[in-house]
Structure 1
Amino acid sequence: MSMQPDAGGALFPAEPGAVLRERPRLINLAYRFLGSLADAEDVVQETYVRWYAMSAQQQAAIVSPGGWLTKVASRICLDLLGSARARREKYVGEWLPEPLPDRAEWGGGRAEASGDPADRVTLDESVGMAFLVVLEAMTPAERVAFILHDVFRYPFGDIAEIVGRTPAACRQLAASARRRVGAHRSEGADRGQRAGVVGDFKQAWESQDIKALIGLLDPDVTVVSDGGGLVRTTLEPLGGGEEVAQSLLFVSARTPDAKILERSVNGQPGLVVEHEGTVVSVLAFDIVDGRIQHIWAVRNPEKLRPWAS
């Protein structure tokens, strides 16, 4: 049990569960750092292991348990980000962040019953697939400084302690990351428009209407697929409206009994492909001026765990 000193220096128990209530925030933080819910859960578990490994006196000496947990989790993530680049060099094909469904759709609608804080990742712009993909191009220090400051509003003084640099250097890291995001951010459609385009895309795909598909795709559209070497998929990005449309028709011809469902993917309209009752692919979209510029298709079954019914 965590304890805090009173005015006379004696120890008294902290509010029961106060430390554990930090877990949802830590999950949100770690997922944005790593783009993987599984890795985020591991990070948070390790953070709590380190907390409970301390004595009551050591815990009582910590003025802000929440701040301590954030600092430890962020440092673990920073180390993981450094090693992730080497791991992903060995990854088969393209690596994409793990897609998340809406909370109500989590694990077949069991989110409320499970009570697991991991299902409460806040699905805002900072977990959109386009945003997470841009984060992947950043250095670990840029990513940590940017997310902590611009997304979670931590001061640069606190961030400096985490990344081991001066506050001024952390401010520069965040500014550099902000420029990266700005260079890739476009004035996309609102949610209603996105949903309309995705719905039209689904209908054209199901009806095998290649002309309609091409009309919905930007001429320079790109598709990135992540199978992790576990399922059949293209290993390199595919580009061009006609090429992408033809590829989509080829995919549907291979599995004519597959079902295409409209679902929220990381807080934005997307599609889920089911085959024989199993989710086999989750598609996220970047839509600008009524046309699809990017499609991210996650097919690695290890990344589709939250979508299991």
Structure 2
Amino acid sequence: MPPTDASTDAGTAPATELATDTGPRSGPGSSSGTSTDSEDTLDLRLPDELIALFAGEAGTRGGATGDATAEAMGDASGGARGERRGMAENPAATPADDDLLDHVGGWGPTATPVGVFHLVPVRVERDLPLIARWMNDPAVAEFWELAGPESVAEEHLRLQLDGDGRSVPCLGVLDGAPMSYWEIYRADLDVLARHYPARPHDTGIHLLIGGVANRGRGLGSTLLRAVADHVLNKRPSCARVVAEPDLRNTPSVSAFLSAGFRFSAEVDLPDKRAALMVRDRALRDLL
């Protein structure tokens, strides 16, 4: 998944770090992760929304609950993009007025030490050329695997925009200028939940910093902290924000630590061993 710009936070990251390691490629996989944090193992109840999705899928298709679960969760053998696609393509069995992420588009701007930051939900007709250009940056493409013609990025975006709302793609706009791409998603309803003891309303983030000029100067950690806290402020039911950078990417992990996340566990995903990073509501004033 896209990384964090750790070059000024950790002092060791190359300027491309935040373009890389916290995005869809490191999505959920087939083997279970292990947690070393006993606090993270207490609540293993399936969220009500996920139960409703499975039940609705089974009723619609007339199939068994097991078939509905497989459809909703995606094909674990298909890789990260295939699994996230399985989640996005599943039609929501939730009411139309039940927004799974508390209306990200209405969250508004938030003040940060580097300027006013705003998560603006993607509009394909407006934003596709810019996002596709970022996805074709070699530093980004290595981890996101969405390089190619605009149609590749468009498919990725539409799978979220046409889905049930559990993942919302956004432009990160800093002082009026689009400079990053984010995905705010329900981690507890995502296939990632197979790999850690998810709690209801856990919220995940993926990101990339688009322009090379914005990388390597500490923006990653600053914006990660700001966005994580923005999520907690706007989603009162969410107690944790999670992310899963590649464990080998020490600068990226360091950037999350600098942003007030804690290292919770190592988890095995299809294409990497990841560091599960968690920012807790209860600890955010201390970290």
When normalised by structure 1's length, the TM-score is 0.24
Bigger Cα Rg: 1
When normalised by structure 2's length, the TM-score is 0.25
> Which structure carries more relative contact order (alpha carbon 8 Å, separation 6+)?
2
